[in-house]
Amino acid sequence: MALNAGSAGVSGLADAIYQALNSNFSGVDSNIDADRRTFCNVLATAIVTHIQANAVVATTVAVASVSGVVAGGASSGPGAGTGTGTVT
């Protein structure tokens, strides 16, 4: 699941936060329920935005075989490598 601000990732996180709040505070006062949901959405959006802006994902890849490679200056073939990316 992609963690895009405004996406299902945010609403899923907001729902999890909301459920955690409700399980730790007995009863839901209908007068504050909408505020609690707004708080959860704002908090989840801030978390996802922070992760997207700051997280770097490192990975290791293994290449078992290569086909369709034209000979040239670079090496090709089986091997391993690393890469980095960002969270989207």
Number of domains in the chain: 1
Is pTM beyond 0.75? Reply is no
Whether residue 22 is contained in a domain is answered as yes
What does the pLDDT read at residue 73?
57
Query: Which of 35-57 are b and which e, b meaning 16 or more Cβ less than 10 Å from the residue's Cβ?
Result: ebeeebbebbbebbeeebeeeee
Whether residue 79 lies inside any domain: the answer is: yes
Q: Is 63 among the domain residues?
A: yes
- What tokens were used for 33? 């329920």
* Residue 19 host element (H or E): helix 8-24
| pLDDT score of 3 | 47
Confidence at residue 1, expressed as pLDDT on a 0 to 100 scale: 41
Residue-by-residue pLDDT tens, the chain, 88 positions: 444 555 566 888 888 888 888 777 766 676 777 888 888 889 999 998 888 888 878 788 777 766 666 666 566 666 777 777 776 6
Residue 79, domain extent: 8-86
3 within some domain: no
The answer to whether position 2 is within a domain reads no
